[in-house]
C-alpha cells in the first residue's frame, strides 16, 4: 500500500480522496436524515451543475453541453481549474466556480469521474460518406504529410482516453467536438503547457474538423468505456496535462 | 586575564546572538502581522491577476471611465516597490500619492486606507518587502479622455477625500472601536456599500448607505438600514457566521461579497470578526416605512405572482422550502430574508438568472450551490418568481417587471 502511494503522487492524491469520499459516503445515510439539512452528499452539492450536465453527468439534450461522467478525474479537475481562473471561457461556469477551493474542485471531478451512466446512442450523421471516411482516416491514422498525428495515438485505440489527463472522445456530439477544436485553433481554449492539443488542432483545417467531429460522433459505445490506466501506451509527444 | 577576556567575548557573542534572534523574532512577528493586515485590506483581490504571481498586479479593473490596471507591489526594484521606503508607502496608503507626490486613482481605496495607523502601514510594508520580487512592468491604464488626466483626481479629492487616521470614539467600547477601525479602514467596505455618484466617489455622509456597483451590476445594500443589509436585528453569531464562513441562518453572501469573504474576511481572527459584528450591529438604524413604489399595475402584479408561485413550487421549493424556510445555512431561507426584499431587485433577479455558490471557506469548505435559471425560464417567468419570493410569506418587497429581468441577462458574470 505504502509503495503504491509513493509511486505516483497524483494517483495517491486521488486515492486518498477516494478513501475520504468512501468514508463520507458511509455516513451519508445518517447525515441525509438530519432534519432541515440538505443531504451531506456530493450529489446534493453539485445540483448547481446538473441542469446543464445531467444528474449523473450524462449530458443533456443541448448539443454544446458536454457529458462529464466517466472521464478521467485528472482531466476533469484540470478543466475546473481552467474555468475557475478564466483560462477556459464559459461565463456561467467561470462565475459558479470562482470562489471554490482546489480540494472541492477535486472532489467534484472525482464525483463525476466515478459515475457511469450508459453512453448515449450514437447519432446518425448528416455528412457524406466521403467526409466520414476522411474523419476516420484522421482519427485512426492521422496525416503524416501534414504533421497530424492519429487521434488514437493519444486518446487510445478504443478512444476511451487514459488516466489521469486524457479524455475519451466517445459520447460527445459533433457540435461540441468541433467547437472545442475550433477553440484550440483560435487560442480561446488552452491546456497546461506543452499544450499538445493546440499543436494538433493548429494543423487541422476547417474541413478536417468537420470530418473528424462527425466521424467521432457516429462511433457506437464500446463494451468498456473506462479510460485505460496511466502508462498503457506512450504518447507521440509530450502533453502538459499528462505528466510522465 | 586572557581567559576572562575570552569568556567576556563569548558572553557578548551569546548576548548578540540572543539579541539578533530576538530581533529576528520581532521582525517575523511584524511580517506575520503585516500579512494578516494585508488580508484584512484584501490587497490580493486587486493586485494579483488570475493565474498571476502574488501581488505582481496587472489585473484589469473596468470602470465607467475606461480600464485601470493594478500595480506590481512586490519588492522588485525596477518594476515593483523595491526602492520605496516605509514613508513612501505610508504616503500612498494615507494620502493617496506616489512617492513623487503624483495623484493616485481612487480605485486604489486610499479613501478608506487613510484611516490605517502608521504602525499597521509599516507592518504591511514589512510583509510586502518579504515576499518574492516579480519583475513585471505595470500595464498602462486605458482611460478615455479626459479621465486619463490625473489632475482631475484633485476635483474628486476635494469632494470626497478626508485624509486622517481613525479616531476612536471614547463613548464606545474598545470592541466597537476595533470593529469600526477594520470596517472603515482596511476593510474598505464603503467602497461598495455606498451610492456611487457619476464621479465614482463616495460622499462621506452617504457612507454605508448602499449603492449599485458600476460595471458589475450588483447592488451592495445599505449596511445601516434594517430594510437592506442593516444587521440591527441579527444575532452576533449570525453576523460572524456570515462574515467568516459565507453562510448563516439568516442569509448567504454571493457575487462581489463572496469575493470579499473568500479573499479577506475568512482569515480574520474570531476577536476581530466579533468586533466587526458588534460595530455593524451598532450602526444600523431604524428605517422609515417602505415607500410603496411598485411601478406595475395591480392586476398585472397579481397575475405575475400567481404564475410565480407555480414556477417557485416546481423549481425552487426543493431547496428553499414551500414556505421559503430553506434548510439554513446551506440552502438559505427566503422568507424574512432582507437581501431579497430591498427596493432594488437587482440581486434576487441575478441570483435566479445566474445561480451561484457561496465562497469555499475554512468554515464551509464544500458549499452547496444554486443552478442558473437563465436558460430554463423566460423573462416573464423570472419576473414572476422574483415577484413571488419578494411578496410571499410576509416579505415586504415589490413586484418586478419582465423588462427588468431581461435587462439583467446581459450583466457581466466576471
Q: Which of residues 60-89 of B touch A (CB under 8 A)?
A: none
CB–CB contact B413 A101 (8 Å): no
Question: Beta partners for B62?
Answer: B67
Question: Beta partners for B331?
Answer: B327
What residue in B sits closest to A107 (Cα-Cα)? Answer: B366
Mean pLDDT of A53-72: 92
A-chain residues within 8 Å CB-CB of B261? 99
Task: Clarify whether residues A168 and A196 are in a common domain.
Answer: yes
pLDDT at residue A149, rounded to an integer: 97
A-chain residues within 8 Å CB-CB of B374? 92
B-chain residues within 8 Å CB-CB of A104? 360, 365-367
* Residue B25: pLDDT band with limits 50, 70, 90: confident
More confident residue, B223 or B127: B127
CB–CB contact A104 B365 (8 Å): yes
Owner of C-alpha cell 413571488: B388
A-chain residues within 8 Å CB-CB of B252? none
pLDDT at residue B13, rounded to an integer: 54
pTM of the model: 0.91
The rounded percent of chain B whose pLDDT value lies above 90 is 70
* Residue B152: pLDDT band with limits 50, 70, 90: confident
pLDDT at residue B211, rounded to an integer: 72
Mutate to test the interface with B, among A50, A99, A106 (most CBs of B within 10 A): A99
The rounded percent of chain A whose pLDDT value lies above 90 is 77
Per residue, the 3-state secondary structure of chain B, as one string, reads CHHHHHHHHHHHHHHHHHHHHHHHHHHHHHHHHHHHHHHHCCHHHHHECCCCCCCCECCEEEECCEEEECCCCCCCCCCCCCCCCHHHHHHHHHHCECCCCCECCCCCCHHHHCCCCHHHHHHHHHHHHHCCCCCCCCCCCEECCCCCCCCHHHHHHHHHCCCCCCCCCCCCCHHHHHHHHHHHCCCCHHHCCCCCCCCCCCCHHHCCCCEEECCCCEEECCCCECCCCCCCCCCHHHHHHHHHHCECCCCECCCHHHHHHHHCHHHCCHHHHHHHHHHHHHHCECCCCCCCCCCCCHHHHHHHHHHHHHHHHHHCHHHHCCCCCCECCCECCCCCCHHHHCCCCHHHHHHHHHCECCCCECCECCCCCECCCCCCCCHHHHHHHHHHHHHHHHCCCCCCCHHHHHHHCCCCCC
B143 backbone dihedrals φ, ψ, rounded to 5°: -105, 145
Task: Compute the distance between CA of residue A89 and CA of residue A105 in angstroms, rounded to an integer.
Answer: 17
* Residue B164: pLDDT band with limits 50, 70, 90: very high
Question: Which among A85, A92, A98 has the least Cβ separation from residue B372?
Answer: A92
Which residues contact residue B306 at a Cβ distance below 8 angstroms, ignoring those fewer than 6 apart?
Answer: none
Task: Clarify whether residues A100 and A63 are in a common domain.
Answer: yes
CB–CB contact B360 A87 (8 Å): no
What residue in B sits closest to A51 (Cα-Cα)? Answer: B371
Is the pLDDT confidence value at B273 over 60? yes
Question: Beta partners for B370?
Answer: B356
Mutate to test the interface with B, among A36, A98, A107 (most CBs of B within 10 A): A98
B278 contacts B355 by C-beta, under 8 angstroms: no
B181 backbone dihedrals φ, ψ, rounded to 5°: -60, -45
Give the A:B interface size as CB pairs under 8 Å.
Answer: 85
* Residue B280: pLDDT band with limits 50, 70, 90: very high
pLDDT at residue B88, rounded to an integer: 98
Task: Clarify whether residues A81 and A152 are in a common domain.
Answer: no
Task: Compute the distance between CA of residue B43 and CA of residue B109 in angstroms, rounded to an integer.
Answer: 10
Q: Is residue A57 part of a domain?
A: yes
Question: Which among A49, A94, A99 has the least Cβ separation from residue B360?
Answer: A99
* Residue A75: pLDDT band with limits 50, 70, 90: very high
Give Rg (Cα) of chain B.
25
Owner of C-alpha cell 509599516: B122
Q: Is residue A237 part of a domain?
A: no
Is the pLDDT confidence value at B12 over 90? no
pLDDT at residue A1, rounded to an integer: 31
Task: Compute the distance between CA of residue A152 and CA of residue A166 in angstroms, rounded to an integer.
Answer: 11
CB–CB contact A98 B367 (8 Å): no
Q: Residue A134 is part of a domain; what is its CATH number?
A: 1.10.760.10
Average model confidence (pLDDT) across chain B: 90
Task: Clarify whether residues A82 and A133 are in a common domain.
Answer: no
Mean pLDDT of A78-97: 96
Mean pLDDT of A57-82: 94
A197 contacts A184 by C-beta, under 8 angstroms: yes
Is the pLDDT confidence value at B199 over 80? no
Mean pLDDT of B341-355: 94
Q: Of the residues A117, A145, A176, which one is the last residue of a structural domain?
A: A117
Question: Beta partners for B57?
Answer: B48
Mean pLDDT of A30-40: 71
* Residue B321: pLDDT band with limits 50, 70, 90: very high
For the domain with range B298-409, which CATH number is right: 1.10.760.10, 1.10.10.10, 3.40.50.1820, 3.40.50.300? 1.10.760.10
pLDDT at residue A214, rounded to an integer: 96
Give Rg (Cα) of chain A.
19
A68 backbone dihedrals φ, ψ, rounded to 5°: -115, -30
Q: Which of residues 28-57 of B touch A (CB under 8 A)?
A: 50-51
Dmax of chain B from CA atoms?
A: 107
Mean pLDDT of A114-136: 91
Task: Clarify whether residues A175 and A213 are in a common domain.
Answer: yes
In this predicted model, what pLDDT tens digit does every residue of A165-222 receive, in sequence order? 999 999 899 999 999 999 999 999 999 999 999 999 999 999 999 999 999 999 998 8
Task: Clarify whether residues A99 and A152 are in a common domain.
Answer: no
In this predicted model, what pLDDT tens digit does every residue of B224-255 receive, in sequence order? 877 777 788 899 999 999 999 999 999 999 99
Is the pLDDT confidence value at B390 over 80? yes
Mean pLDDT of B401-408: 95
A64 backbone dihedrals φ, ψ, rounded to 5°: -95, -5
Where in the sequence is the domain holding A109, given as residue range(s)? 42-117
SS3 A69: coil
Task: Clarify whether residues A58 and A106 are in a common domain.
Answer: yes
Task: Clarify whether residues A139 and A198 are in a common domain.
Answer: yes
Task: Clarify whether residues A152 and A108 are in a common domain.
Answer: no
Report how many domains make up chain A: 2
Rounded alpha-carbon distances, angstroms, from residue B54 to A89, A197, B44, B133: 22, 29, 7, 9
Mean pLDDT of A112-132: 90
* Residue A34: pLDDT band with limits 50, 70, 90: low
Rounded alpha-carbon distances, angstroms, from residue B134 to A116, B37, B77, B82, B353: 45, 21, 9, 10, 40
pLDDT at residue A22, rounded to an integer: 36
* Residue B17: pLDDT band with limits 50, 70, 90: low
What residue in B sits closest to A40 (Cα-Cα)? Answer: B368
Mean pLDDT of B118-132: 98
pLDDT at residue B276, rounded to an integer: 98
Of B321, B376, B336, which Cα lies nearest the Cα of B353? B376
Mean pLDDT of B318-325: 97
pLDDT at residue A61, rounded to an integer: 86
Owner of C-alpha cell 505595470: B138
What residue in B sits closest to A108 (Cα-Cα)? Answer: B366
Q: Is residue A223 part of a domain?
A: no
Mean pLDDT is lowest, of A225-239, B201-215, B216-230, for B201-215
More confident residue, A7 or B218: B218
More confident residue, B287 or B156: B156
Q: Of the residues A86, A117, A148, which one is the last residue of a structural domain?
A: A117
Q: How far is B36 from chain A (nearest CA, A)?
A: 20
CB–CB contact B360 A47 (8 Å): no
Q: Is residue A98 part of a domain?
A: yes
Is the pLDDT confidence value at A32 over 90? no
In this predicted model, what pLDDT tens digit does every residue of B93-123 receive, in sequence order? 999 999 999 999 999 999 999 999 999 999 9
Domains of chain B by residue range: 26-163, 298-409
Task: Clarify whether residues A140 and A206 are in a common domain.
Answer: yes
B216 in A contact zone (CB under 8 Å): no
pLDDT at residue B76, rounded to an integer: 98
Task: Clarify whether residues A89 and A147 are in a common domain.
Answer: no
What residue in B sits closest to A84 (Cα-Cα)? Answer: B50
Mean pLDDT of B8-18: 55
CB–CB contact B50 A48 (8 Å): no
* Residue A9: pLDDT band with limits 50, 70, 90: very low
Amino acid at each position: 500500500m505504502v509503495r503504491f502511494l509513493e509511486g505516483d503522487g497524483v494517483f495517491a492524491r486521488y486515492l486518498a480522496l477516494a478513501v475520504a469520499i468512501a468514508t463520507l459516503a458511509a455516513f451519508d445515510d445518517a447525515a441525509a436524515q438530519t432534519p432541515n439539512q440538505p443531504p451531506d452528499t456530493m450529489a446534493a452539492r453539485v445540483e448547481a451543475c446538473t441542469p446543464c450536465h445531467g444528474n449523473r453527468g450524462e449530458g443533456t439534450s443541448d448539443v454544446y453541453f458536454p457529458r462529464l461522467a466517466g472521464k478521467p478525474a485528472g482531466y476533469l479537475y484540470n478543466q475546473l481549474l481552467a474555468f475557475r481562473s478564466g483560462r477556459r471561457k464559459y461565463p456561467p461556469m467561470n462565475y459558479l466556480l470562482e470562489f471554490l477551493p482546489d480540494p472541492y474542485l477535486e472532489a467534484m471531478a472525482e464525483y463525476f469521474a466515478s459515475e457511469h451512466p450508459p453512453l448515449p446512442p450514437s447519432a446518425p450523421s448528416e455528412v457524406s460518406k466521403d467526409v466520414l471516411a476522411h474523419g476516420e482516416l484522421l482519427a485512426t491514422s492521422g496525416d503524416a504529410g501534414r504533421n497530424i498525428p492519429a487521434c488514437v495515438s493519444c486518446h487510445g485505440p478504443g478512444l476511451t482516453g487514459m488516466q489521469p489527463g486524457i479524455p475519451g472522445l466517445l459520447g460527445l456530439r459533433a457540435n461540441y467536438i468541433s467547437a472545442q477544436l475550433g477553440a484550440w485553433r483560435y487560442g480561446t481554449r488552452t491546456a497546461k503547457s506543452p499544450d499538445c492539443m493546440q499543436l494538433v488542432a493548429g494543423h487541422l483545417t476547417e474541413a478536417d474538423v468537420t470530418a473528424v467531429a462527425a466521424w467521432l460522433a457516429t462511433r457506437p459505445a464500446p463494451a468498456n468505456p473506462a479510460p485505460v490506466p496511466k502508462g498503457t501506451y506512450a504518447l507521440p509527444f509530450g502533453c502538459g496535462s499528462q505528466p510522465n | 586575564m586572557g581567559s576572562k577576556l575570552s569568556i567576556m567575548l563569548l558572553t557578548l557573542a551569546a548576548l548578540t546572538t540572543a539579541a539578533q534572534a530576538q530581533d529576528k523574532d520581532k521582525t517575523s512577528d511584524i511580517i506575520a502581522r503585516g500579512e494578516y493586515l494585508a488580508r484584512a485590506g484584501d490587497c490580493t483581490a486587486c493586485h494579483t491577476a488570475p493565474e498571476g504571481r502574488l501581488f505582481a498586479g496587472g489585473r484589469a479593473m473596468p470602470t465607467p471611465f475606461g480600464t485601470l490596471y493594478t500595480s506590481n507591489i512586490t519588492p522588485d526594484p525596477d518594476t515593483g516597490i523595491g526602492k520605496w521606503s516605509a514613508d513612501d508607502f505610508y504616503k500612498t496608503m494615507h494620502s493617496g500619492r506616489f512617492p513623487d507626490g503624483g495623484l493616485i486613482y481612487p480605485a486604489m481605496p486610499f479613501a478608506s486606507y487613510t484611516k490605517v495607523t502608521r504602525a499597521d502601514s509599516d507592518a504591511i510594508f514589512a510583509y510586502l518587502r518579504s515576499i518574492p520580487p516579480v519583475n513585471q512592468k505595470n500595464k498602462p491604464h486605458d482611460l478615455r479622455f479626459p479621465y486619463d488626466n490625473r489632475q482631475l483626481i484633485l476635483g474628486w479629492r476635494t469632494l470626497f477625500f478626508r485624509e486622517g487616521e481613525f479616531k476612536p470614539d471614547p463613548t464606545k467600547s474598545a470592541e466597537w472601536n476595533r470593529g469600526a477601525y477594520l470596517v472603515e479602514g482596511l476593510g474598505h467596505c464603503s467602497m461598495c456599500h455606498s451610492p456611487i455618484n457619476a464621479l465614482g466617489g463616495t460622499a462621506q455622509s452617504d457612507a454605508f448607505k448602499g449603492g449599485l456597483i458600476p460595471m458589475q451590476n450588483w447592488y451592495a445594500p445599505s449596511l445601516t438600514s434594517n430594510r437592506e443589509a442593516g444587521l440591527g436585528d441579527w444575532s452576533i453569531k449570525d453576523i460572524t457566521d456570515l462574515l467568516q464562513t459565507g453562510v448563516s441562518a439568516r442569509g448567504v453572501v454571493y457575487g462581489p461579497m463572496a469575493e470579499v469573504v473568500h479573499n479577506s474576511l475568512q482569515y480574520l481572527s474570531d476577536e476581530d470578526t466579533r468586533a466587526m459584528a458588534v460595530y455593524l450591529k451598532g450602526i444600523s438604524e431604524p428605517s422609515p416605512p417602505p415607500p410603496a413604489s411598485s411601478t406595475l399595475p395591480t392586476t398585472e402584479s397579481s397575475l405575475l405572482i400567481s404564475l410565480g408561485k407555480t414556477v417557485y413550487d416546481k423549481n425552487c421549493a426543493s431547496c428553499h422550502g414551500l414556505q421559503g424556510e430553506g434548510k439554513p445555512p446551506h440552502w438559505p431561507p427566503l422568507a424574512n430574508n432582507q437581501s431579497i426584499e430591498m427596493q432594488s431587485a437587482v440581486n434576487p433577479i441575478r441570483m435566479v438568472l445566474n445561480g451561484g455558490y457561496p465562497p469555499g471557506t475554512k468554515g464551509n469548505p464544500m458549499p452547496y450551490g444554486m443552478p442558473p435559471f437563465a436558460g430554463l425560464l423566460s423573462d416573464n417567468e423570472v419576473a414572476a418568481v422574483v415577484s413571488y419570493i419578494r411578496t410571499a410569506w410576509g416579505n415586504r418587497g415589490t413586484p418586478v417587471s419582465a423588462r427588468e429581468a431581461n435587462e439583467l441577462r446581459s450583466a457581466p458574470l466576471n
